[in-house]
Every structure is written in C-alpha cells, then in structure tokens.
Amino acid sequence: DAQSGSGGGSGSGAGGSDSGGGAGGPDPALQAFDFRVQTDVKPSSTFHTTSYTVPAGHTFYVSDIVFENTAGDTGILRLQRGDSVLMQMSLDTFRDRDNHFAEPVEFAAGAKVVLSVRCQTPGGQTSATGSSCTPAAYFSGRSVTTKS
C-alpha cells in the first residue's frame, strides 16, 4: 500500500537543444530538461511515495539519474513509473549513486515519475537525531514536445 509522502519535485524544461539535422538548425521540439524529486518520510514498515508528473504535451527521455542519500538513511528506495517498479535499491549501500542509460527511460505526458521509500532508520547508523529519511533523485535528459 503506497501512501503519499511530503516533499515534491521541481524542474525545468528550458535549456539547450539538439541539432535537428539539415539546414533547419536546432529542433525546437527537442529540449534539454532536468528536475529533482525530494522525499521526507518518517520510519515505517510501508512505502511512501513522492512524485513528479510529466507535463501535458511533453515526453521525457531520462538519460541520467543521480540518487542521493546524503544523510546515510537506511531502508529501501524504489524508482517507479506510476505503480510499476523500475529499480529498487537499499539505501544503506550508497550516499550518491549515478546511473547513465545507453537507451533513455521514457516517461509519457501525464506519467508519474515516483520515488517510493520505506524508511528504516533516518540518518543511518551514525546519527540518532534524524526524524525522517530524505533520499532524493536528480533526473536529466531530453523532452520532446508532442502534438495535442
């Protein structure tokens, strides 16, 4: 049972563009994008989710993801497309973990890019002061403008 957690995502569709080939120059329908999803989850035996929704009229092709666990929390982190789990990892195995994909991961307009967290111990084994797990992920890639 996934529950809604606090936190959120923010991002930008602005940025550079790739060459469209030929004499036409850059393709205005293809833009660089990035966004970050931050979680804030109290210790629990269930997963709590925080998501970013791909805007209408866009398809995101994620080529790079940096997972962050700067507090050294323990528990499980999942990357999901809606309810489908794409990746699952143990929080205690990394502080920063970057993934680069030869073939980008596609998120269509309206799709939810979800971080789902089951927080075991905030602050890991080095701190008794943490009250919640705060892993995050930074996403970058290309956005294609789709026709409505």
Within a domain: 20: no
Question: For the chain, how many structural domains are there in total?
Answer: 1
Within a domain: 96: yes
Predicted structure pTM score: 0.78
Within a domain: 37: yes
Domain of 93: which CATH number?
2.60.120
Across the chain, the runs of DSSP E, i.e. the strands, are: 3-4, 6-12, 30-40, 48-53, 58-68, 74-81, 84-90, 96-107, 112-121, 136-145
48-88: per-residue pLDDT in tens? 999 999 999 999 999 999 999 999 999 999 999 999 999 99
**Whole-angstrom distance, CA of residue 67 vs CA of residue 96:** 6
Higher pLDDT, 18 or 32: 32
Which range marks the domain in which residue 82 is found? 3-12+31-145
Q: Which two tokens mark 87? A: 């990746």
Within a domain: 26: no
Q: What is the mean pLDDT of residues 28-38?
A: 91
Within a domain: 92: yes
